[in-house]
Chains A and B, each alone.
Chain A
């Protein structure tokens, strides 16, 4: 379970205060699929960064399974991110000088897993996404869809219970987009909690619950299924 308790974020720029996120409180239950929708510059990424333990809020607290995320040391927060959170990025963020296999191994390597374990887990995930014959290819040698699949495999390397996705379909064609969305649904079915940030209502429609954000203000909207139907 993730809980935001009166979380806000402000930036100070030349004596101006910018409210990137106004006081916000909500909970995401374990296994829930939540979409946060809003236009560009509305504070979506700020919210996702705070949820991911990468940006300390100006006020309020973030609780992960009842534990305060930002009361942890930087090192322990990094460890928590490594073990419990999987990120899906809009631009995939693959390391260009590593092969597909090595990119998937990366979270395991940072965790300190041994080589054999890293390799077998990475191969298993590449097979799951149909990329076993591309394991030695570098990102530049893969199609956009294949790159996103490698990124999804990397997200699952540590088998995290929380998946945070930032516009995961933003750079994809329809076929790849469908694959990503169906994968996210599968991951939810496996019991993982999915929080997805998007500006695209058709993507947010896949979620069970949708939060709207505008000018740093978060508000709950009607059920996604209803939005989709409308």
Chain B
């Protein structure tokens, strides 16, 4: 029989009391791990969005507010398509591509779907040419080197490029990552990955939409955004079939780098006073604030539950020492040193702390893995920081709160062993 067996067997004698204390610790650690994992995953998602879209600007109808960049066209309000030409004609520094969109709800096979009109770059190049701006040669002449932008070149730009590579001009599925399609037939559609998977659709199949038959010319790879559930068609075809007129819900302005974004915003606001111009950082600002608040809240909840856990451990340990006075006195009579008796109490508390943080980790993990993807659409990465903080804090709280009970046990009078029951 080893020292730890003494602790373990005593704990098993009254499991209910220990489990209650353990659960208090577990709840604290679980809440911390779950919330911090969700917050950290959300922050990583936002960071990835910022990395990918940081230089992008959205031109929206006035009064529209957004929380999801990818759902920027789902508000039902419109702006004139002519804004696209105005931006292109302005030749602003750092503007690489323009992506206007018009999202309409329509029925397909008795289901409501979102059909998104997108403008292939060939279209506004044509339009620009028609308006005497020589973008046509820049965009359409395949012999020219890739890298021509809609706007002026940003000197010394260190940002990412949203130019289409040569391959992207023919591979329509590149739209998922580039957000720009070079050319799109009037009777062609692109379908999102989830939409295609749900309905078993493949390239070459036909779809009847808005009374017309379209051919699927590409299935887009999954992006983890609302685009995965959409169908994309030529903007002008969508406008024509829905009698929308020359309008769009949003114009996505793909900038070359974040350095140009601030200037572009003010230029575009001046150029398009009736529109609202926002950057990705403005869109995610609310989410960032919520994340920060949740992170603070999770530590506050953790702190409160740890205090409760500590009080519970202290209370249980004091009661335990009082109840076991005679038994501990007997152990001393049999040769246990005061330090050994104190260790019996401290190791018991340590066991509760460790088991509590272990159970808490599992609870937090389960909660984060269920809540993250189901409710928040996040792919959860467990916050190691929260796990370490939770474990260390639970162990410290357990040891600190049992310090005085352990001290009391060590100072027990061994003569208690002679007391009558």
Give which listed residue, B339, B340, B415, contacts A110 with CB less than 8 A: B340
Give which listed residue, B12, B335, B337, contacts A107 with CB less than 8 A: B335
Are B3 and A109 within 8 A (Cβ)? yes
Are A89 and B6 within 8 A (Cβ)? no
Are B418 and A166 within 8 A (Cβ)? yes
The answer to the question of B109 belonging to the interface, with a C-beta cut-off of 8 Å to chain A, is: no
On chain B, the residues within 8 Å of A54 by CB distance are 332-333, 413-415, 417
The answer to the question of B334 belonging to the interface, with a C-beta cut-off of 8 Å to chain A, is: yes
Q: How far is the CB of A120 from chain B (nearest CB, A)?
A: 13
| Residues 1-32 of B contacting A (Cβ, < 8 Å) | 1-3, 6, 9-10, 12-13
On chain A, the residues within 8 Å of B331 by CB distance are 95, 106, 110
Beyond known contacts A45-B418, A81-B333, A95-B327: 8 more, CB 8 A cutoff: A45-B415, A55-B414, A55-B415, A74-B337, A82-B334, A93-B327, A95-B331, A106-B1
| Residues 180-205 of A contacting B (Cβ, < 8 Å) | none
Q: Roughly how many angstroms separate A11 CA and B337 CA in the complex, as a whole number?
A: 24
Known: A97-B9, A98-B9, A110-B334. A91 touches B2 (CB 8 A): no
Are B335 and A93 within 8 A (Cβ)? no
Q: Roughly how many angstroms separate A223 CA and B246 CA in the complex, as a whole number?
A: 125
The answer to the question of B148 belonging to the interface, with a C-beta cut-off of 8 Å to chain A, is: no
Q: Which 4 A-B pairs have the closest CB atoms?
A: A82-B335, A54-B414, A97-B13, A93-B330
The answer to the question of B158 belonging to the interface, with a C-beta cut-off of 8 Å to chain A, is: no
Q: How far is the CB of A9 from chain B (nearest CB, A)?
A: 11
On chain A, the residues within 8 Å of B3 by CB distance are 109
The answer to the question of B420 belonging to the interface, with a C-beta cut-off of 8 Å to chain A, is: yes
Are A97 and B1 within 8 A (Cβ)? no
Q: Roughly how many angstroms separate A82 CA and B1 CA in the complex, as a whole number?
A: 16
The answer to the question of A70 belonging to the interface, with a C-beta cut-off of 8 Å to chain B, is: no
On chain A, the residues within 8 Å of B339 by CB distance are 75
Are A115 and B2 within 8 A (Cβ)? yes
Q: Is the interface of A mostly helix, strand, loop or mixed?
A: helix
On chain A, the residues within 8 Å of B326 by CB distance are 93
Q: Roughly how many angstroms separate A91 CA and B420 CA in the complex, as a whole number?
A: 6
The answer to the question of B421 belonging to the interface, with a C-beta cut-off of 8 Å to chain A, is: yes
Provide a sorted-by-A list of 14 A–B residue pairs whose CB atoms are within 8 angstroms: A45-B415, A48-B418, A49-B418, A52-B333, A74-B337, A74-B338, A81-B334, A87-B333, A90-B420, A107-B334, A107-B335, A109-B6, A110-B335, A158-B335
Nearest chain-A residue to B335 (Cβ)?
Answer: A82
The answer to the question of B319 belonging to the interface, with a C-beta cut-off of 8 Å to chain A, is: no
Give which listed residue, B335, B414, B415, contacts A111 with CB less than 8 A: B335
The answer to the question of B336 belonging to the interface, with a C-beta cut-off of 8 Å to chain A, is: yes
Known: A75-B339, A78-B336. A95 touches B418 (CB 8 A): no
Are B335 and A89 within 8 A (Cβ)? no
The answer to the question of A61 belonging to the interface, with a C-beta cut-off of 8 Å to chain B, is: no
Q: Roughly how many angstroms separate A83 CA and B421 CA in the complex, as a whole number?
A: 26
On chain A, the residues within 8 Å of B340 by CB distance are 78, 110
The answer to the question of A105 belonging to the interface, with a C-beta cut-off of 8 Å to chain B, is: yes
| Residues 37-80 of A contacting B (Cβ, < 8 Å) | 45, 48-49, 52, 54-55, 74-75, 78-79
Q: Roughly how many angstroms separate A106 CA and B2 CA in the complex, as a whole number?
A: 9
Chain A CB within 10 Å, residue with most, of B10, B330, B418, B421: B418
On chain A, the residues within 8 Å of B417 by CB distance are 54, 87, 89, 93
Q: How far is the CB of B421 from chain A (nearest CB, A)?
A: 5
Q: Roughly how many angstroms separate A139 CA and B338 CA in the complex, as a whole number?
A: 25
Known: A87-B417, A97-B9. A118 touches B1 (CB 8 A): yes
Q: Roughly how many angstroms separate A96 CA and B338 CA in the complex, as a whole number?
A: 21
Q: How far is the CB of B362 from chain A (nearest CB, A)?
A: 28
On chain B, the residues within 8 Å of A82 by CB distance are 334-335
Are B415 and A89 within 8 A (Cβ)? no
Q: Roughly how many angstroms separate A81 CA and B333 CA in the complex, as a whole number?
A: 7
Give which listed residue, A79, A115, A158, A166, contacts B1 with CB less than 8 A: A115
On chain B, the residues within 8 Å of A154 by CB distance are 334
Q: Roughly how many angstroms separate A74 CA and B10 CA in the complex, as a whole number?
A: 25
Q: How far is the CB of A95 from chain B (nearest CB, A)?
A: 6
Q: How far is the CB of A108 from chain B (nearest CB, A)?
A: 8
Q: Roughly how many angstroms separate A52 CA and B12 CA in the complex, as a whole number?
A: 32
Are A81 and B1 within 8 A (Cβ)? no
Q: Roughly how many angstroms separate A26 CA and B13 CA in the complex, as a whole number?
A: 45
Are B337 and A78 within 8 A (Cβ)? yes
Q: How far is the CB of B25 from chain A (nearest CB, A)?
A: 23
Q: Roughly how many angstroms separate A81 CA and B335 CA in the complex, as a whole number?
A: 5
Are B327 and A109 within 8 A (Cβ)? no
Give which listed residue, A83, A91, A115, contacts B335 with CB less than 8 A: A83
Nearest chain-A residue to B10 (Cβ)?
Answer: A97
On chain B, the residues within 8 Å of A52 by CB distance are 333
Known: A87-B417, A89-B417, A91-B420. A109 touches B2 (CB 8 A): yes
